Amino acid sequence: MMKINARDAQARFGEIMSTINREPITITKHGKETAVVISYEDYNKFQNLEELYWGLKAQEAEEEGYLSPDESETILGTILQSK
């Protein structure tokens, strides 16, 4: 994966737009990775994978059963007290 600092990214925007069709580009600022630029096609693939993941999680939850309101309140109370 190509890495480029933010200042160079601004100056080489056209090159970045061409490169993201082949590989993602990491943008750094002050030496720290701050962003990744990907193609729209890759973005759509990630969106579809995320939708599939959450759909499967919802299906698992439905098969395992849901918590009652009292169970939910107890669990949330425990979590909030531990913070």
Give me the mean pLDDT over the 21-25 stretch: 96
Report pLDDT for 68: 83
Report pLDDT for 62: 85
With a CB cutoff of 8 Å and minimum separation 6, the contacts of 27 are 3, 4, 5, 6, 9, 33, 34, 35, 36, 37
pTM for this entry? 0.66
Measured from the Cβ of residue 25, the count of other Cβ atoms closer than 10 Å reads 20
pLDDT in tens, 59-80: 998 888 888 888 899 999 999 9
**Chain-wide mean pLDDT for the chain?**
93
